[in-house]
Amino acid sequence: MKPYVSDRAPAYTLGHAPEEMDRLLLQARLYGPVTAQALRQAGLGPGMRVLDAGCGAGDVTFIAAEAIGPGGSVTGVDAGPEALDLARARLRDRTRGSGPGGAVGVGGGGGEAGAVDFLRATLPDVVLDAPVDALIGRLVLGHQDDPVAFLRRLTGLVRPGGLIAFQEFDNHGLRAVPETPLAGAVLRGITGALCAGGKDRGAGARLYSLFRQAGLVPAGISATTPMGGVEDPLVLPLAVHTYRTLCPRVSATGLGPDADREAIGDPATVGDRMRAELDAAGAVLIMPTAVTVWATTPAPPSEAPVNIP
Ligand SMILES: C[S@@+](CC[C@H](N)C(=O)[O-])C[C@H]1O[C@@H](n2cnc3c(N)ncnc32)[C@H](O)[C@@H]1O
């Protein structure tokens, strides 16, 4: 795969500061099994040559490597050098003493993984030496100014009859059940900050229509919503970490009702207070729904039969 590195600014507004990279890793631990299952259901399988668009720290790349096995290869592409440094360091850790992509373990395959490499490029400006069998991406389409044009351009990198599968979040269902005041304020702060950043409540619910607008006929959709109480090791820490990453934006813009900002108080202690509140109420936190849509690229028109008079 030949990279063409554009000098266009990357579109990722959350940046790649260490706190954001930590948040992405936490998020990837919660959603890894969901992504692995959805990609296998979409048809990602042995021997494929794959491009992972907007790979970040490489979590989806590693999941794909496990799904395609030793005969396949996957290239993670990202515009952020910090994200790629972390992805490459993780790849080195995984490959120590194992196969080309290392043992990954998140997808439940447990076997050897396919070859992995990472490239820096601002998509869709990438040139490949040959089309891939599959184009995948998680939480990347929603960050594009023109996701339809982005999808159309990247579709051109996939061989006819190949797979295109993207996963995005839908944040409409984010809540605690039963509702509790502090959790409600924090979750409203998160969705408010995301919307203020020019995003709506996640591209998940729009993914099907994005595919259609890009000229792709969706072959399948899956949607999974993780949820968990205070004993869950990932759900509450991820919600709190996400709030802390986004809260400078909340306070800078004065987003949300004053009552919410007062209820939330000091971001440094919000996690402990939220845990106590949820525990006392016996409440569960309902996290963003991971929506995956997949399609097959159109096969080239078969040659017209020649009529011999
Ligand atoms: C929310 S992160 C998701 C990372 C990874 N896919 C995951 O799910 O863990 C989005 C990533 O996409 C990258 N990205 C966004 N737009 C991009 C573009 N046009 N070209 C290359 N990378 C892009 C960002 O740099 C960021 O690392």
56 CA to centre of ligand 1 in angstroms: 5
Residue carrying the six token digits 């290392």:
102
Helix 18-42 / helix 81-95 crossing angle, nearest 10 deg: 60
Q: How many CA atoms lie within 13 A of 107 on its CB side?
A: 28
Cα 182 to Cα 95: distance, rounded to the nearest angstrom: 43
Pocket test for ligand 1, best of 143, 146, 166, 171 (most atoms within 8 A of CB): 143
Closest atom of ligand 1 relative to the 167 alpha carbon: 8
213 CA to centre of ligand 1 in angstroms: 22
Pocket test for ligand 1, best of 23, 25, 78 (most atoms within 8 A of CB): 78
| pLDDT at site 260 | 76
Closest atom of ligand 1 relative to the 31 alpha carbon: 8
| pLDDT at site 99 | 45
Residue of 96 and 301 predicted with greater confidence: 96
For residue 227, list its beta bridge partners: 286
| Sign of the four-CA dihedral 77, 79, 83, 86 | positive
Q: Do 174 and 191 form a contact (C-beta atoms < 8 A)?
A: yes
Q: Do 162 and 297 form a contact (C-beta atoms < 8 A)?
A: yes
Closest atom of ligand 1 relative to the 14 alpha carbon: 1
Residues framing ligand 1 (Cβ under 6 A): 10-12, 24, 28, 54-56, 59-60, 78-80, 83, 122-123, 138-140, 143
Pocket test for ligand 1, best of 7, 12, 171 (most atoms within 8 A of CB): 12
156 CA to centre of ligand 1 in angstroms: 19
304 CA to centre of ligand 1 in angstroms: 42
Q: How many CA atoms lie within 13 A of 135 on its CB side?
A: 29
Task: Enter the DSSP assignment of 169.
Answer: E
Query: pLDDT category, 18, cuts 50, 70, 90?
Result: confident
| pLDDT at site 107 | 40
Per-residue model confidence as pLDDT tens digits over 240-259:
999 888 876 655 555 566 66
Nearest CA to ligand 1 atom 14: 54
165 CA to centre of ligand 1 in angstroms: 15
Mean pLDDT taken over the chain: 86
184 CA to centre of ligand 1 in angstroms: 28
Query: pLDDT category, 268, cuts 50, 70, 90?
Result: confident
182 CA to centre of ligand 1 in angstroms: 31
Average pLDDT over residues 209-237: 97
- Name the residue among 155, 69, 152 with its Cα closest to residue 113: 69
267 CA to centre of ligand 1 in angstroms: 26
Percentage of the chain with pLDDT > 70? Answer: 82
Q: Do 273 and 243 form a contact (C-beta atoms < 8 A)?
A: no
DSSP, residue by residue, 208-260: HHHHHHTT--EEEEEEE--EE-TT-SSHHHHHHHHHHHHHHHHHHHT-S-HHH
Nearest CA to ligand 1 atom 1: 139
Average pLDDT over residues 27-36: 96
CATH topology of domain 18-296: Rossmann fold (3.40.50)
Residue carrying the six token digits 């004993």:
231
For residue 49, list its beta bridge partners: 73
Per-residue model confidence as pLDDT tens digits over 103-125:
444 443 446 899 999 999 999 99
Tokens of 120: 């820096």
| pLDDT at site 249 | 62
286 CA to centre of ligand 1 in angstroms: 24
Domain residue extents for the chain: 18-296
Nearest CA to ligand 1 atom 27: 56
| pLDDT at site 215 | 96
Per-residue model confidence as pLDDT tens digits over 120-148:
999 999 989 999 999 999 999 998 999 99
| pLDDT at site 199 | 65
Query: pLDDT category, 17, cuts 50, 70, 90?
Result: confident
Closest atom of ligand 1 relative to the 52 alpha carbon: 6
